[in-house]
Structure 1
């Protein structure tokens, strides 16, 4: 794959027909009704430019963009299969997090770096504590409540929980309060709900509108594009400490607007 072009079976991705919002919604409704593979193929082909635009964000960090593109297409297919047309939401709003999630999982699985055990242990404790809180109070605990109960700062909590998103580390072992190692996957109840995921994504998108330009850029690059604080600092020509401070401030603002 070149910098700005992808060939799929000899066809330039840029040349595939782009569907309007209404055309896309109509095809998604038809596909949900009859599961016609030809309709699904048309939806995939018409949204390949979306995948390509997300792949290009990693062109300075990944040597084989072709593989990353194929992984992104898997995320696109999942979005088509699970999108709820009854909600007034653009398909791209729902699809982008799924595509990025598949890409980030691939990059993490391909990377020799491992998530620190300390973060995995914090994530496990937070998930268990949140389940207990839900049973007692009939709602999930906020980040502020969890950080207070665990006696850790909110930034560390967010980083720990983020480390469990769409990565193979869920099958890795964590400490179980002295009772021997266990894996996260066997302990986390499967309450996955595509509609809930989409609603959280919509709430996050709305909250991000309240960030200033620099906060928004840092949050997007850190949590949507996978850049490190050092890489962002170099790009913005500021110190890593400044990036860390702005990131914490932005996360605080997002929490404020999402818990109103």
Structure 2
């Protein structure tokens, strides 16, 4: 797709656009092409808003055109609204998605370009076949290996935060970290410097801390062992940690006063 400076396509009226959209949604590729080329000025005007984001405007223009294509394919002609009213948010959303993916994890330009082709090819495949393509079908369409398709798709996925909230009830929440377990991490309880403080906990509280932090059990596993709910484990864990923190703060203050006396 050519940016504004290189496009000589005349502006389309609302009536012309609605006619072209209707034909395009019926499978007329020439009408779809005219509709897209007739709205490059709209895409380019939106791209200018992102000129300070450190990305080539030509790249953003190509991404914006994907949003334009989606707008043409999905615009509901039964509503009496201007096409631009529907298209602008779609185009902006596509560009923002690209900037978000490009910014969180730095990947090579070749992978970003392949990911761009994958998304475009997927949209075209769904439009023609009414179902998503398999990895192998995408590989055949783009002339690459299935492994390259998987690599490019995974490289631009949003990384999940360990603090991502999975469940919340009555003020207690369970995060992704709470569901994780490190099979390699195992430290004897009796060798922890906090032994004296931990000894002040009751038996169930000690069990929760031991299982959670020294046996690397998840909250679900602890709940099953103790015969309580995972939410109860989460609530108890927070209470115990707050108590330990308070005890440790008091202990540190006493130690400091002793040192000062000496």
When normalised by structure 1's length, the TM-score is: 0.42
Structure with the bigger RCO (C-alpha within 8 Å, sep 6+) is 1
- Give the number of the structure whose alpha-carbon radius of gyration is greater: 2
